[in-house]
Amino acid sequence: MQKLRTVIVDDEPLSLDLLRAVLSEISDIEIVGECCNGKEAVEAAINLQPELLFLDIQMPGMNGFDVIKSLQTDIMPMVVFITAFDQYAVDAFDLHAVDYVLKPLDSERIARSVDRAVDRLKNDVDRSFKSPLIGAIEEISERASKEEQIEYVDSNLPDGMKRKLLVRDSGVVKVIPFDDIDWVDAAGDYMCVHAVGETHVIRSTLRDLMGKLDDNLFVRIHRSTIVNVERVVSVTPLQKGGSLLHLTQGESLKVSRNYRDSIRKFFN
């Protein structure tokens, strides 16, 4: 069978060496990229389109969780988290059936993770990999701050508040005007709202949010992704009819072939 295209991410060079050495002994794996921080990991996920990501959680700058939040649901690879020690995290991963391995890395445990990934790729046709990951991340941050909820602004609120989103983020309620939203992607029961360089995770559905957002501004570009067209800086066509949108904050989003017409309308 075909090998799993894999990217490995760890900020410690020795840890990356070990991961590479262990994975190179597994025949199902082809390592297509190595990254030593979160930013590189996001770029590699977009450019290399791997099927599997081994991702260290504790990293400088953008940590493993930030990487997951900022990746588009539609291109999310399968992820195996790597962590040295975090009891809460391990519980949360178990709860949401997210795979994780503990340091020091154990060859047998990693081989089992790879087997599991191979199985999922065969059986999971809808590729909803991001949902359990976000679920686990939310679980962990809820345990850390105990209070992380989202409230939509109800339609019976004053008009001035209607076009705004309230996000409770570690005890502080943030007001995000709809116009500030760069792009949104849905991951099962969760939505990742990307606004002004930050990602807010809320519990809602894409359909619910789409009903509130301005049709002339927000366009669906993939099954689970909508984008604010005013944030698009450039478009790169891809093979097989898809394309890549580059946004003002530096992110890149993939447009699927099925939705290319909706974008074309704006740029023609």
Partner 1 sequence: MSGSVYHPLLEMLYRNTNVQFWLLQIVGWFGLSLISFLSLTLWYDQQETAYIAHTLLQSALGVIVSWPLRSLFRYFWNDILIFRISSALAGIIGCSLIWTILRISTFMSMTGEQDVWSDFGGWLFGSILIFLCWVAFYHFVKYYQLLQNKHQALLELASDTQQEQLKRLQAETIAHEAQLKMLRYQLNPHFLFNTLNAISALVKVKESSKAHEMIVQLSKFLRYSLDNDPIHKVSLRQEIEAVTQYLNIERTRFGKRLRLHFDVPSHCKSIDVPSLILQPLAENAIKYGIAPAEAGGQISILASTEGAYLIIDVIDTGPGLNVAKNPIKSAGIGLKNTDERLREFYNDDYEFRLDNTPDGGLCARVKVPSHL
- Using CB under 8 A, list all residues that contact partner 1: 11-15, 17-18, 21-22, 37, 39, 58, 60-61, 84-85, 102-105
- Taking the least distance from each CB to partner 1, the nearer of 9 and 167 is 9
- Taking the least distance from each CB to partner 1, the nearer of 19 and 219 is 19
Cα–Cα nearest to 203, from 227, 173, 176, 168: 168
Least Å distance between CB 250 and partner 1? 15
DSSP letters for 20-59: HHHHTT-TTEEEEEEESSHHHHHHHHHHH--SEEEEESS-
Least Å distance between CB 10 and partner 1? 10
Q: Which burial class, exposed, middle or buried, applies to 212 when counting CB atoms under 10 A from its CB (0-12, 13-18, 19+)? A: middle
Cα–Cα nearest to 254, from 49, 79, 52: 49
- Taking the least distance from each CB to partner 1, the nearer of 87 and 156 is 87
- Helix (H), strand (E) counts: the chain: 9, 16
Least Å distance between CB 109 and partner 1? 12
Least Å distance between CB 117 and partner 1? 21
Count of positions (residues) in the chain: 268
- Taking the least distance from each CB to partner 1, the nearer of 17 and 208 is 17
Distance CA 224, CA 205 (A): 10
Least Å distance between CB 85 and partner 1? 4
- Taking the least distance from each CB to partner 1, the nearer of 37 and 249 is 37
Least Å distance between CB 102 and partner 1? 7
Calculate the alpha carbon distances from 64 to 11, 14, 67, 94 in Å: 11, 18, 5, 17
The residue type of 191 is M
- Taking the least distance from each CB to partner 1, the nearer of 6 and 228 is 6
